[in-house]
C-alpha cells in the first residue's frame, strides 16, 4: 500500500474515531515519505484527538525536524505546550507568529491564529513585568537616556520591538552611531531653533501667501528610476515642499520671504556638499495622507524636524519608536533607518525640515564625505 492510500485509510479511521488505527496508518505513510512534514502534523493531530498530548508533541517535533519553519506545525507545538502547562508555551506562540505566511490565512487556522496573538501578547506583558522586577535594582539611578536604552533592550528581548539599522540607499559611512532619534544634548542649537518657532511659522505664512512662491511635490524621480519605496508618492501633490535650500542652492522665490529663517540656518552645522546639500524646506502633508516606510540616501547626515502646524493625531515613526509631532518641539533622527509618517486628520500638517552633519564625523571625515558625494552622479538627490 502506498503512502497516499495509507493516508486515505487513515482519514477513514479518523472519521470513525479509530485514532489508534489512524495513527498507525499515518506512521506507515511517514516511513514511506520521510521528507514530508505534513504527515507528522497529521499524526500529531490524531494523537491529540486521542488524548495523548505528549505523543502529539513528539510528532510535531518530528515535523519541525524536517521543516523548522512550518507555520502549522509551530502553531500546533505552541498549542500543545499550552495544553501541557509548559512554560515554553508563551514564547512558542511568538515563534509561530514569526512564521505567519503573507496573504490570507486558511479558514481552519484563523481561530488558532487569533488565539496565538492573544496568548503571545499576554506572555509578553507577563514576561515584561517579570524582567522589570528582576532589573529594578540595576535601573536605580539610571539617567533618562540610560533608562530609555534599558527599556528598549527589554522590549527587544521579548520581541515587542526589534532592532533597526542604518540602511542608506546610496552612501554608508562606517562606524557611525545608530540611533533612531538622537538625544537633544548633542545639538546645542536646538533650543534656539525651538525659540524661533513663532517667527519661522510667520515666515511660512508669508511664503505660502506669496504669488510667486514655489510649491513642488516632495518626491520627484524619473519613472524609470529604481526607487520602489517612492512609487506611490512620486510627484504626488499630497506631499509637497516649499524649498528654501535645495541640493545646496537657495530657492530665491521662497527664501526671500524667510530672512530670519535663512539667518538661523546659517548658524547650523548643515552639510555643504556640491549638488547635494544643504537642504531646508517646509514639508506639507495633505489631510488623510500617509508616507510609506522608506530610508534616506546617506547616514553621514541627520534630519531635524521642527513641527509648525500639527493637527491632532499626526505621527512619525523611526524604527520601533513612534512620536506625535508637537508644535515647537524639535527632534533629530536618522532617516537611513526605516521611517514613515501619517496625517490622519482633515487638516494640513506642516513641518520645517533641514539636514545636519552626523555629530560623530570629524572635520576631515566631513570633507571626505563631501568630496565623494559631490563626485557621484547620485549627489543630485537630496532625499
Residue 222 has pLDDT above 60, yes or no: no
Q: Residue 99 sits in a domain of what CATH number?
A: 1.25.40.10
Mean pLDDT, the chain, integer: 91
Strand partners, 316: 323, 341
Residue 326 has pLDDT above 80, yes or no: yes
Q: Which domain covers residue 15, as residue numbers?
A: 3-121
Per-residue pLDDT tens over the stretch 50-68: 999 999 999 999 999 999 9
Tell whether 187 and 333 lie within a shared domain. yes
What's the pLDDT tens digit per position in 103-124? 888 888 888 899 999 999 999 9
224 and 359 fall within a common domain: yes
pLDDT confidence of residue 106: 86
Res. 226: pLDDT tops 80:
no
What mean pLDDT do residues 258-277 have? 96
Residue 138, domain member (yes or no): no
194 and 83 belong to one structural domain: no
Q: Is residue 37 part of a domain?
A: yes
Among 331, 339, 325, 357, smallest CA distance to 185 is for 331
Asked if the structure places residue 287 within a domain, the reply is: yes
Name, in order, each residue with C-beta under 8 angstroms of 206's C-beta and a sequence gap of 6 or more.
257, 258
Out of 121, 156, 190, pick the residue that ends a domain: 121
Reported as a pLDDT band with limits 50, 70 and 90, residue 299 is very high
Q: pLDDT grade, residue 379 (50/70/90)? A: very low
Residue 158 lies in a domain: no
Confirm whether 359 is domain-assigned. Answer: yes
Find the CATH number of the domain harbouring 333.
Answer: 2.60.120.330
- Same domain as 349, residue 224: yes
Residue 293: pLDDT over 50:
yes
SS3 349: strand
- 128 class by beta-carbon count within 10 Å (0-12 exposed, 13-18 middle, 19+ buried): middle
Residue 142 within any structural domain of the chain: no
Please give the distance of CA 70 from its chain centroid, rounded to a whole number.
25
User: Among 106, 121, 136, which residue terminates a domain?
Assistant: 121
Identify the pLDDT of residue 238: 74
Residues 246 and 371 in one domain: yes
Question: Is there a single domain that holds both residue 201 and residue 52?
Answer: no
Count structural domains, the chain. 2
State which of 83, 98, 121 marks the end of a domain: 121
**Pair (317, 197) in one structural domain:** yes
Residue pair 373/299 in contact by the 8 Å Cβ criterion: no
pLDDT of residue 228: 58
3-state helix, strand, coil split of the chain in percent (to 5) is 45, 15, 35
Residues 217 and 299 in one domain: yes
- Shared-domain flag, residues 89 and 185: no
Number of neighbours of residue 204 by Cβ within 10 angstroms? 20
pLDDT at 382: 46
pLDDT at residue 23 is higher than 70: yes
Residue 370: C-alpha distances to residues 178, 272, 301, 303, 374 (Å): 20, 7, 11, 17, 6
% of the chain surpassing 70 pLDDT: 91
Reply yes or no on whether the pLDDT at 245 is more than 50. yes
**Are residues 342 and 201 part of one domain?**
yes
Query: Considering the domain boundaries, does residue 226 fall inside one?
Result: yes
pLDDT in the model for residue 380: 47
Confidence of residue 258 (pLDDT cuts 50, 70, 90): very high
User: What secondary structure does DSSP assign to 137-162, as a single string?
Assistant: HHHTT--HHHHHHHHHHHHHHTTSS-
Q: Is residue 166 part of a domain?
A: no
Record the cell numbers describing residue 68, joined without a space.
523548522
Q: Note whether 282 and 356 are same-domain residues.
A: yes
- Cell numbers that stand for 23 in this block: 495513527
Same domain for 362 and 290: yes
Task: Write out the DSSP string of 218-286.
Answer: S----TTSS-GGGGGGTT-TTEEEEEEEETTEE-HHHHTT-HHHHHHHTTS----BTTTB--EEEEEE-
Percent of the chain with pLDDT over 90: 84
Amino acid at each position: 500500500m502506498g503512502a497516499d492510500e495509507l493516508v486515505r485509510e487513515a482519514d477513514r479511521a479518523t472519521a470513525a474515531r479509530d485514532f489508534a488505527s489512524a495513527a498507525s496508518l499515518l506512521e506507515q505513510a511517514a516511513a514511506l515519505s520521510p521528507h514530508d512534514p505534513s504527515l507528522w502534523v497529521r499524526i500529531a493531530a490524531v494523537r491529540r484527538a486521542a488524548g495523548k498530548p505528549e505523543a502529539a508533541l513528539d510528532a510535531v517535533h518530528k515535523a519541525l525536524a524536517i521543516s523548522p519553519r512550518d507555520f502549522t506545525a509551530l502553531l500546533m507545538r505552541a498549542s500543545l505546550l499550552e495544553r501541557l502547562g509548559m512554560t515554553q508555551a508563551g514564547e512558542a506562540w511568538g515563534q509561530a507568529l514569526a512564521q505567519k505566511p503573507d496573504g490570507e490565512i486558511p479558514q481552519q487556522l484563523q481561530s488558532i491564529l487569533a488565539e496565538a496573538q492573544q496568548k503571545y501578547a499576554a506572555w509578553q506583558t507577563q514576561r515584561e513585568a517579570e524582567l522589570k522586577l528582576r532589573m529594578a535594582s540595576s535601573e536605580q539611578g539610571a539617567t533618562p537616556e540610560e533608562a530609555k536604552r534599558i527599556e528598549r533592550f527589554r522590549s527587544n528581548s521579548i520581541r515587542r520591538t526589534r532592532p533597526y539599522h542604518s540602511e542608506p540607499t546610496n552612501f554608508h559611512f562606517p562606524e557611525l552611531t545608530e540611533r533612531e532619534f538622537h538625544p537633544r544634548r548633542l545639538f546645542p542649537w536646538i533650543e534656539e531653533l525651538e525659540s524661533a518657532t513663532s517667527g519661522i511659522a510667520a515666515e511660512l505664512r508669508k511664503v505660502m501667501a506669496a504669488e510667486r512662491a514655489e510649491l513642488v511635490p516632495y518626491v520627484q524621480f524619473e519613472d524609470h528610476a529604481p526607487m520602489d519605496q517612492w512609487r506611490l508618492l512620486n510627484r504626488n501633490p499630497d506631499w509637497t515642499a516649499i524649498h528654501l535650500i535645495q541640493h545646496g542652492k537657495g530657492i530665491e522665490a521662497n527664501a526671500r520671504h524667510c530672512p530670519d529663517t535663512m539667518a538661523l540656518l546659517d548658524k547650523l552645522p548643515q552639510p555643504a556638499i556640491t549638488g547635494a546639500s544643504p537642504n531646508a524646506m517646509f514639508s506639507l502633508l495633505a489631510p488623510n495622507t500617509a508616507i510609506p516606510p522608506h530610508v534616506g540616501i546617506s547616514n553621514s547626515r541627520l534630519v531635524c524636524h521642527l513641527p509648525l502646524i500639527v493637527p491632532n493625531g499626526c505621527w512619525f515613526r523611526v524604527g520601533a519608536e513612534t512620536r506625535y509631532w508637537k508644535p515647537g518641539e524639535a527632534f533629530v533622527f536618522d532617516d537611513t533607518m526605516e521611517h514613515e509618517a501619517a496625517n490622519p486628520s482633515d487638516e494640513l500638517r506642516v513641518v520645517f525640515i533641514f539636514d545636519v552633519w552626523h555629530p560623530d564625523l570629524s572635520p576631515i571625515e566631513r570633507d571626505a564625505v563631501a568630496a565623494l558625494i559631490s563626485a557621484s552622479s547620485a549627489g543630485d538627490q537630496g532625499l
